[in-house]
Structure 1
Amino acid sequence: MTEQVAIGIAGVGKIARDQHLPAIAGHSGFKLIAGASRNARIDGVNNYQNVEDMLAAEPLLQAVSLCAPPQVRFSQARAALEAGKHVMLEKPPGASVTEVTVLADLARQNQCTLFASWHSRHAPGVETARAWLAGKEIKAVNVLWKEDVRRWHPGQDWIWQPGGLGVFDPGINALSIITRILPHAFFLKSAELFVPANRHNPIAANLDFSDALGTPIRAEFDWRFGPQELWQIEVTTRDGLLHLAQGGKFLKIDGEMKDIGQEREYPSLYDRFFELISTGASDVDVSPLQHVADAMLLGGRHEVEKFED
């Protein structure tokens, strides 16, 4: 494609302002022409209260990036796809695994691109880690993904409601990385979910996975951690230790820091979205969300102290 893709954003919150808007502004393949949000506006473009109004009023619109909470994303994506627009879904791609597969079918029927984006897969160390691990014998995997919910989701009640995922909202970033870099598929064996007495979703979780070879894969997620975040993945192999730190921004192999380039997660997402639109393809991997669904299904729930924001 040589022409710019006219794009709109739905859900003009923190993630849209911090990441999506700068990424679109810096991408030669996209032109932002509209925004849809109940409580916010984007300067310099037409603004609407909802996606349906935006679609009806913007005939030149070609694509929509959906950044609203996952509980409302299905109806937004369905409206956009039925209107013939390409759709990018912020993570998690939906409130359930099945609704995302329904959207994938709808995208095929309408010959539209659907991109279930996982921004942490675009951290600079991820693809180098994947290449190094290819063909290696994995002995163990240990994931620590811990942060302070009050810093990252202040006052956001939706995160605690059904479909909001709780601590799995950040934890799914780790799952998106290990489903990308590990050479074999894996599945959940057991889980512990720690749920505040006044909330629906867990504030912490411990997960134990295995692959078909019996490799132990342990993940610990916690929203009560700080002041600095701990986002790290260690993979022990017969050939050495791989260590991803700060969400994939840094990579060490056997203690040696690797040169992996600069961070550009969200610009890279829009590179991928533009590529998919240009080639008439979609990219809809639900495996990280499936692991969260399995944790909710298999996990033992433990009540912990109330959480007050």
Structure 2
Amino acid sequence: MAPYRIAVIGLGKIAQDQHLPVIAANPGFELAAVVSQRGLGVPGVPTFRTPAELYAAVPDLVAVSVCTPPDARTAIAREALDAGKHVLLEKPPATTLSEVEALTAVAGRRQRLLFATWHSRFNPAVAEARRLLEGRTIRRLDVQWKEDVRHWHPGQDWVWQAGGFGVFDPGINALSIVTEIVPSPLSVAKADLTFPSNSDTPIAATLAFTCLEGPEEASLSASFDWRQEGEQTWTIEIETADGTLLALHEGGTRLVINGEPGVSAPSEEYQRIYAHWAELLAAGRSDVDVAPLRLVADAFLVGRRHDTAAFHW
């Protein structure tokens, strides 16, 4: 079967670090073009300033990967669907739940496919944790997701603007794992959100969850912080009612079971994302899960605001 001709829209850090090299290495896809408002390019393929120029010049394009900041994704995805293209969305798929629902409806009407990616889910350790937790009752959940925004988003002011998610940009990765592996749905009971005085989005957050199907005394919490320097922390610990203790480390790439080594594999999240995307295209099936985005929305709805010093790069 001929490879799917695909274009990447938005050539920021994630597109250059992950999407472009993974597409180049996957025989199921052929990079047909890129779209960059800044005029950035990729050797061997044309660059367009707007998606409209892309669709006019490359009519045999099958799909696009939308890698822009979140606030631009909905309009770009809608334009792609209207042009008859299948759409892969970087995480988070949009800035609001309503936007995702609207895009899903448009994709259905246009008979096009929509894939809302959550890259942290695509690790073998996450899949094994989900298998081990199936049917079990969660007694304790502790998420520690702390990193240095200056390292991961250098100079990217959009993360501090309304719709930029702030610390939930990485925090939603943890929530995507939690909603994948915890057997029962969670809701946000309390949230404390810390905002720099010059920012529309939080630099730190602490969440407390409830699980309607779990024990009332369960301790379920998450702590996110974008001010951690040095070694970064991406850990999820879960204790079940029968005493099983699972710990996912290094962003979900390593699983420890009752203190003993379990699954450990190199991070090949985006390789698995595109393998799944090829399967979805072949099967004619969309994959859109809004559970992680819903928890973020809940956090903003119930969260208490706390102010801290202004942030400067």
TM range, smaller chain = over 0.9
- Structure 2 counterparts to residues 224-263 of structure 1, below 5 A: 224-237=227-240, 238-263=242-267
- Structure 2 counterparts to residues 2-81 of structure 1, below 5 A: 2-39=1-38, 40-81=40-81
Cα deviation 1:246-283 (Å, max 9, x = unaligned): 10111100111113443210010001111111111100
- List structure 1 segments (4+ residues) > 6 angstroms apart after TM superposition: none
SS at match of 2:310: coil
Q: Look up the equivalent residue of 1:147 and give its one-letter code.
A: E
Partner of 1:89: 89
Separation of aligned partners in 2, 1:182 and 1:281: 24
Separation of aligned partners in 2, 1:150 and 1:166: 12
Partner of 2:299: 295
Q: Look up the equivalent residue of 2:22 and give its one-letter code.
A: A
SS at match of 2:238: strand
TM-superposed deviation, 1:138 = 1.3
2:279 matched to 1:275? yes
Cα deviation 1:263-304 (Å, max 9, x = unaligned): 210010001111111111100101101111111111000000
Cα deviation 1:117-139 (Å, max 9, x = unaligned): 00000023100000011111211
Instruction: Please tell me whether the aligned partners of residues 147 and 223 of structure 1 are also in contact (alpha carbons under 8 angstroms).
Output: yes
Partner of 1:196: 196
Q: Look up the equivalent residue of 2:4 and give its one-letter code.
A: V
- TM-score by length of structure 2 reads 0.97
Instruction: Please tell me whether the aligned partners of residues 123 and 247 of structure 1 are also in contact (alpha carbons under 8 angstroms).
Output: no
Instruction: Please tell me whether the aligned partners of residues 207 and 218 of structure 1 are also in contact (alpha carbons under 8 angstroms).
Output: yes
SS at match of 2:263: coil
Partner of 1:129: 129
Instruction: Please tell me whether the aligned partners of residues 256 and 263 of structure 2 are also in contact (alpha carbons under 8 angstroms).
Output: no
Separation of aligned partners in 1, 2:229 and 2:123: 22
Instruction: Please tell me whether the aligned partners of residues 124 and 264 of structure 1 are also in contact (alpha carbons under 8 angstroms).
Output: no
Instruction: Please tell me whether the aligned partners of residues 129 and 246 of structure 2 are also in contact (alpha carbons under 8 angstroms).
Output: yes
Larger deviation: 209-218 or 283-292?
Answer: 209-218
- TM-score by length of structure 1 reads 0.98
Instruction: Please tell me whether the aligned partners of residues 128 and 263 of structure 2 are also in contact (alpha carbons under 8 angstroms).
Output: no
2:235 matched to 1:221? no
Separation of aligned partners in 1, 2:263 and 2:290: 30
Separation of aligned partners in 2, 1:259 and 1:61: 38
Cα deviation 1:64-110 (Å, max 9, x = unaligned): 00000011111110011011101000000001111011001111111
Separation of aligned partners in 1, 2:72 and 2:52: 13
Partner of 1:140: 140
- The gaps in structure 2 that reach 5 residues or longer are none
Separation of aligned partners in 2, 1:74 and 1:277: 21
Partner of 1:120: 120
Q: Aligned residues: percent identity?
A: 48
Separation of aligned partners in 2, 1:52 and 1:265: 30
Partner of 2:164: 164
Larger deviation: 282-291 or 251-260?
Answer: 251-260
Larger deviation: 167-176 or 267-276?
Answer: 267-276
Separation of aligned partners in 1, 2:124 and 2:19: 18
TM-superposed deviation, 1:56 = 1.6
Separation of aligned partners in 2, 1:149 and 1:173: 15
Instruction: Please tell me whether the aligned partners of residues 254 and 265 of structure 2 are also in contact (alpha carbons under 8 angstroms).
Output: no
Instruction: Please tell me whether the aligned partners of residues 250 and 260 of structure 1 are also in contact (alpha carbons under 8 angstroms).
Output: yes
Cα deviation 1:134-187 (Å, max 9, x = unaligned): 111211100000000000011001111111000000000000000000010010
- The gaps in structure 1 that reach 5 residues or longer are none
Root-mean-square deviation over aligned CA pairs? 0.9
Separation of aligned partners in 1, 2:44 and 2:259: 48
Q: Look up the equivalent residue of 2:254 and give its one-letter code.
A: F
SS at match of 1:166: coil
TM-superposed deviation, 1:47 = 0.5
2:89 matched to 1:98? no
Separation of aligned partners in 1, 2:294 and 2:209: 13
TM-superposed deviation, 1:190 = 0.6
